[in-house]
Each structure stands twice: as C-alpha cells, then as structure tokens.
Structure 1
Amino acid sequence: MRKVVSSGSHLEGPIGFSRACRVGNLISVSGTAPIKDGETVYTGDVYAQTQYCLELSIEAIRKAGGSPSDIIRTRIMLTDISRWEEAAKAHGEQFATIKPACTFVEVSRFIDPTWLVETEIDCVLEQV
C-alpha cells in the first residue's frame, strides 16, 4: 500500500514530491517550510515558524493514517544554528512526552530566504 498526502504546493508537480508518503507502516514527511497560501508566515520568528512547520507535518501524518505518538524521528534544519533554542522550545512543547530521536542542523539557505527553518519527520505505525 502506498498513500501520498499533498501539501497543495505549486512545486509538487515540477519537483515530484508529496508532503508525506506512507508505505505500509512507515510515514515520511518531506521538508516542511513555513508557508501558508504560497506566502512565508512568521517572518523573522524561528519559534513560530518551527511551531507552524511541525503543525503542518502532524496534520499530514494524520491524513496518512498516523498520529503524533507514531513519530520516531524529527529533523530541524536552521539557517542560523545560533537560534537553535528558539526552535527547540517549539519542538519541546510539541514532543515533550513523545521524545522522538531529533537532529538540529544548520543549512546555508532554503529556496526562499525568508524561511528560517524546515522540518522533516519519520513515523512507524504500531499497527497497519
């Protein structure tokens, strides 16, 4: 079984990606940027952008048939690693009880320079 969840992004077709992809009991969520209706949200605010990206990802996980408790790994990519604590606060608020494996990394830039963060999430569902 393969199920894809669309983000609605105009880039899905040209790039060939989905917000999330489920195969069997695995769900992977693509790099999720702080975009709503084609525009960057919370410009300049790492904390709010991270919150928003995680919320979008969790919504996609639910649409794929999963739940936050299925999350086993998160990746937080930042353009300025010195601001990791702002992203970590949002991550901690969301995952304090789930405690997935997590990595914070610095990247040189994203497609849009107003994006300060992108997130990725992987899940394993307990039952298919």
Structure 2
Amino acid sequence: MGDDRQLIGSGSPLEPEIGFSRAVRRGAHVAVAGTAPIGDDGGTVGPGDVYAQTVRCLDIAEAALRAAGASMADVVRTRVMLTDVTRWKEAARAHGERFARIRPACTFVEVSRFIDPGWLVELELDAITDGGGE
C-alpha cells in the first residue's frame, strides 16, 4: 500500500471478516463503500421505511467522509441501490435534502437483495477533496 492510503473503519464486525474499509482515501480521492442502514445497536434502522434508511446510510457515509478529512460538499458521485426501484422517490427525497446544492452525478439501481433482508437501500459515495491525503 502507498504511504498516502488512509483506511477509515466504522467499527463494523464485517470489515475485518470481509476485508474492507468503510472508506478509503488516497490523495484527494475518497471512496465510501456500500453503506447499509445499520443503527448503533447493530439493528436495521427504519424497518420498511426507505426514506429513514436512506437518511441513516447518508449519516454513516457522511461520518466516514469527515473521518477521511472530506465533506458532503466534496462528493462527486453517489450510487443508490434499492431492492424496489419503484420506491426511488423516497430515497431521492433524502438524497436531495443533502445534495440539492452539491448535485453529484447520481445513479439509482435496483438489486435483488442485500445481506440483511430488512435493508431496502444501500449507498456508495465518491468524493474528491481540494487537498491531498494525511
């Protein structure tokens, strides 16, 4: 690994098991991994509620960005994955609340399922900061 590679963990027990980081920063680039609506207690936030789950995903992703020295204003791409794409407007409402002024490139896709069947949405973010890595 290069000296400028910064790994950001979220404390998930799956990180070491799978071999991934919540986010990785290399230079000015920050990638946030697929982020599920997991609460501090390990349970699913907002069962059945796409909007609430999307808000939780955004909160987790934003914390990872901050830990990497970035912010939501640095986000250039988002990916919103839903188990039912017909509910995209619920996720879009939460996305729009955070990104209305930033307006990153954004993709909504439908997936067949996630690791936990209670998860209705996952999010990925990519950011580019003005400065280099730590």
TM value normalised by structure 1:
0.98
Question: What whole-Å deviation, never above 9, does each CA across 1:90-123 have from its counterpart, x for those lacking one?
Answer: 0001100000000000000000000000000000
Q: Residue in 1 aligned with 2:98? A: 94
Question: Unmatched 5+ residue regions in structure 1?
Answer: none
Superposition pairs of residues 30-69 of structure 1, within 5 angstroms: 30-36=33-39, 37-69=41-73
Asked if residue 27 in structure 1 is aligned to residue 30 in structure 2, the reply is yes
Q: Residue in 2 aligned with 1:71? A: 75
Question: Unmatched 5+ residue regions in structure 2?
Answer: none
RMSD of equivalent CA atoms: 0.6
Superposed displacement of residue 127, structure 1: 2.0
Corresponding pairs, count? 128
Secondary structure of the corresponding residue to residue 130 of structure 2: coil
Question: What whole-Å deviation, never above 9, does each CA across 1:50-86 have from its counterpart, x for those lacking one?
Answer: 0110111011001001111110000000000000000
Asked if residue 14 in structure 1 is aligned to residue 17 in structure 2, the reply is yes
Partner amino acid, structure 1, of 2:90 = E
Q: Which has the higher strand share?
A: 1
Partner amino acid, structure 1, of 2:129 = L
Partner amino acid, structure 2, of 1:116 = L
Secondary structure of the corresponding residue to residue 59 of structure 1: helix
- Whole-angstrom CA distance in 2 between matches of 1:25 and 1:50: 26
TM value normalised by structure 2:
0.94
- Whole-angstrom CA distance in 2 between matches of 1:127 and 1:23: 11
Q: Residue in 1 aligned with 2:84? A: 80
Q: Runs of 4+ in structure 1 displaced over 2 angstroms?
A: none
- Whether the 8 Å contact between 2:27 and 2:131 is mirrored in structure 1 is no
Partner amino acid, structure 1, of 2:123 = T
- Whole-angstrom CA distance in 2 between matches of 1:70 and 1:87: 20
Q: Residue in 2 aligned with 1:104? A: 108
